[in-house]
Copies of this chain bind each other. A is one copy, B any other.
Amino acid sequence: MKNQVVLDNRRDVPEATIRRLPVYRHYLKQLESEGVVCVSCTQIANWLSFSPIQVRKDIEFTGVEGKPKIGYELKDLIAHIENFLCFHTKNEAVLIGAGHLGYALLGYHGFKEFGLEIVAAFDNSQDKIDKFINFKKVFSIDKLEEMVSRMKIQIGILTVPASCAQALTDRMVAAGIKAIWNFAPVKINVPKDVVVQHENLASSLAVLSKKIDEQIKRDLK
A residues contacting B by CB (< 8 A) are 1, 3, 5-8, 13, 15-16, 18-23, 26-27, 47-50, 54, 85-87, 89, 91, 99-101, 103-104, 106-108, 110-111, 114-116, 154-155, 162, 178-179, 181, 185-187, 193, 195, 197, 199-215, 217-219
Smallest Cβ-Cβ distance to A114: which chain B residue: B205
B89 & A100 in contact (Cβ 8 Å cutoff):
no
Given A110-B202, A187-B48, A207-B197, verify A154-B23 contact (CB < 8 Å). no
B208 & A19 in contact (Cβ 8 Å cutoff):
no
Chain A at the B interface: SS class: helix
A11 to chain B: closest CB distance in Å?
13
**21 pairs from A and B in contact (CB 8 Å cutoff):** A1-B49, A3-B16, A8-B214, A19-B206, A22-B205, A23-B200, A26-B185, A26-B202, A86-B209, A87-B209, A89-B213, A100-B103, A100-B106, A100-B108, A101-B104, A111-B205, A178-B215, A179-B208, A195-B212, A195-B215, A199-B204
A34 to chain B: closest CB distance in Å?
14
In the bound assembly, the distance between CA atoms of A13 and B181 in angstroms comes to: 27
Residues of chain B with a CB closer than 8 A to A111's CB: 205
